[in-house]
Amino acid sequence: MESIKFLFLLLFQVVLSVFLFILFQDKSKKPEKNVSLYLMSEEPVITILLWTWPFGYRFILNQCPSSFDITGCFFTANRTLFLEADAVVLHQRDVCSSKDQLPQFPRPPKQYWIWFSMESPSHIVNLSFIDNLINLTMSYRADSDIFTPWGWLKKPDNAQIFSIPKKTSLVAWVISNWNPSNRRIIYYQELKKHIHVNIYGKQHLPLPRANHSDTLSKYKFYLAFENSLHEDYITEKLWYNALVLGNVPVVLGPPRQNYERFIPPDSFIHVDDFSTAQELASYLLELDKDDHKYQQYFNWRSKLQPESAIPWVSHYCKICKALKEGPNYRTIPSISRWFK
């Protein structure tokens, strides 16, 4: 009798242990909240898969600024959802070293592969890897399927008076990639013979991130010299370091006409407007002595204000609208023929 009670007690403990183990396992599984929320919805959902985080930089998905309507879209970086994804975003610099970095799963019919790059053609390799694979382009080029510029101008919500930041210095330049054979370095070497330029960055003056804005806004002019010359390649050098921070950009990049597609003609100074670097230096020194003439470069600020797309999220949020508009499904034979 005692043995029966013992066996019954032992069996009860085993059953209880198994029950508790299963219960614990179920509770320990934490399903993707966003996946269950979106994919179980009765409404049609456009699933957008980020194949990689751009340069490894992570940000919160599905929380776009209010100016973006992402209703009906679900962003994810979970590769296990590849077969359910309506679109896959391929950031060029993260998939360019090997074809093995591209999705290796069987591709669902009509799944959009979106090619994304904010780098210029001079800094991109192995574009042939994606021949006949891409359906939509996404870049700083204005003729991209999804246009993602480094910055833009917008009308302020309320009338506002722009005050030029107090100026205590003349010309600044931030540069990290010092290539003596690059056109911008060659131009600077001639310019510095005629005007002093404070240079920040690697092997130059330190520019802590916390002091970035305060430091550069004190300069009257900023050298927004691009590292390569390509159509529409106008980066944060102009948009943030110059326009947002309230100084006059001196640009070296695509032709003046290209800049004027995006910013007013009287908002910047182009090196091509001068036959020599000495002439440019003389003009900057002239503006330094004439406050009224200098301030004319800010007249446009009464109607427009610059925005800089530094956070990656502002680029990715544009994908939802583009897909909801139902783009024609076509395959691009060669990105490199267009992107040059």
Q: Are residues 50 and 193 in the same domain?
A: no
For residue 89, count CB atoms less than 10 angstroms from its CB and return exposed for 0-12, middle for 13-18, buried for 19 or more.
buried
- The count of structural domains within the chain is 2
Task: Give the pLDDT confidence score for residue 22 in this predicted structure.
Answer: 39
Q: Which residue has the tokens 């948009």?
A: 239
Domain extent, residue 100, equals 33-148+312-338
Q: Are residues 158 and 304 in the same domain?
A: yes
Q: Are residues 166 and 282 in the same domain?
A: yes
CATH code of the domain covering residue 107 = 3.40.50
Q: Are residues 188 and 295 in the same domain?
A: yes
On whether residue 28 sits in a domain, the answer given is no
Condensed to tens digits (0 to 9), the pLDDT of residues 97-143 reads 999 999 999 999 999 999 999 999 999 999 999 999 999 999 999 99
Q: Are residues 280 and 169 in the same domain?
A: yes
Task: Give the pLDDT confidence score for residue 66 in this predicted structure.
Answer: 87
On whether residue 266 sits in a domain, the answer given is yes
Task: Give the pLDDT confidence score for residue 325 in this predicted structure.
Answer: 94
How many whole angstroms separate alpha carbon 222 and alpha carbon 237?
9
Task: Give the pLDDT confidence score for residue 38 in this predicted structure.
Answer: 52
Task: Give the pLDDT confidence score for residue 20 in this predicted structure.
Answer: 39
Q: Are residues 186 and 138 in the same domain?
A: no
Condensed to tens digits (0 to 9), the pLDDT of residues 55-110 reads 999 999 999 988 899 999 999 999 999 999 999 999 999 999 999 999 999 999 99
Low-confidence ranges of the chain (pLDDT < 50): 2, 4-10, 12, 14-34, 36
On whether residue 130 sits in a domain, the answer given is yes
On whether residue 26 sits in a domain, the answer given is no
Q: Are residues 285 and 221 in the same domain?
A: yes
Q: Are residues 236 and 210 in the same domain?
A: yes
On whether residue 3 sits in a domain, the answer given is no
Task: Give the pLDDT confidence score for residue 42 in this predicted structure.
Answer: 55
Task: Give the pLDDT confidence score for residue 310 in this predicted structure.
Answer: 67
CATH code of the domain covering residue 219 = 3.40.50.11660
- Distances in Å between the Cα of 112 and the Cα atoms of 47, 171, 180, 184, 327 are 11, 46, 41, 38, 10
Task: Give the pLDDT confidence score for residue 173 in this predicted structure.
Answer: 98
Q: Could you give the residue numbers annotated as active site?
A: 119
On whether residue 209 sits in a domain, the answer given is yes
On whether residue 249 sits in a domain, the answer given is yes
Task: Give the pLDDT confidence score for residue 226 in this predicted structure.
Answer: 97
